[in-house]
Every structure is written in C-alpha cells, then in structure tokens.
C-alpha cells in the first residue's frame, strides 16, 4: 500500500509546464534522431522513433501533453516527408498558401 502512495506522490511532482516541456522535448529529440539517421542512410526510421516520443509524452505527461506530443509528432512526420520529396520550396508553399 505504501508503494502506491509513494507512486502517486511522485507523479504529482511534475508541474504542468514540466509535463508539456517533456512532450515538446521528446518530440524534438525524436525529430533530431530521425534526421540524423536519415543523414546516415537508415531507411525509414521515422515511425518507430516518433512512436517512442509519444510513449514518453503520454507516460510522463499524461493526457494533455500526450495529445500535444501526438500533434507535434504528426506535424513532424508530415514535414519530414515533404522535405524528403519536394524540398524546402514545397514546404514554404504549403505553409504560406495552406494547400
């Protein structure tokens, strides 16, 4: 019983800012690792790396930061696939025109 109480107390140590920060940092770290692996020629490491970032976001941040991590990971996957296919110009056109 004391372990359950200790676990619930340790989960409260993270403030809201810290939990959202963990979500942002985990997705940013996944993006950096995926970019590095693509640079070295590893084929398609994106999905598993972003999935690990989502697991960290939901585990330490719970629901709200986890959803933010999911949105950021989806955006990161889309941006990386656009950059791989069309380059920076197509990304710039999508951002400016919305299509």
Question: What pLDDT digit, counting tens, does each position of 11-68 carry?
Answer: 555 677 888 898 889 988 888 888 787 777 777 777 788 888 888 888 888 888 889 9
* 8 located within any domain: no
| Rounded Cα–Cα distance for residues 17 and 90 (Å) | 34
* 7 located within any domain: no
Whether the Cβ atoms of residue 95 and residue 86 lie closer than 8 Å to each other: no
Q: Any idea how long the chain is? A: 99
* 2 located within any domain: no
Nearest to 68 by CA among 81, 78, 58: 58
Q: Residue 72 belongs to what domain range?
A: 14-97
Structure-block tokens of residue 54: 């989502």
* 66 located within any domain: yes
* 6 located within any domain: no
Query: What total of structural domains would you count in the chain?
Result: 1
């Amino acid at each position: 019983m004391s372990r359950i109480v200790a676990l619930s107390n340790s989960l409260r140590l993270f403030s809201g800012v810290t939990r959202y920060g963990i979500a942002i940092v985990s997705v940013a770290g996944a993006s950096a690792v995926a970019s590095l692996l693509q640079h070295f020629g590893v084929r398609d490491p994106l999905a598993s790396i972003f999935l690990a970032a989502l697991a960290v976001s939901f585990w330490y941040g719970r629901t709200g930061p986890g959803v933010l991590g999911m949105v950021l990971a989806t955006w990161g996957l889309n941006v990386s696939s656009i950059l791989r296919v069309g380059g920076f110009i197509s990304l710039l056109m999508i951002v400016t025109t919305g299509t």
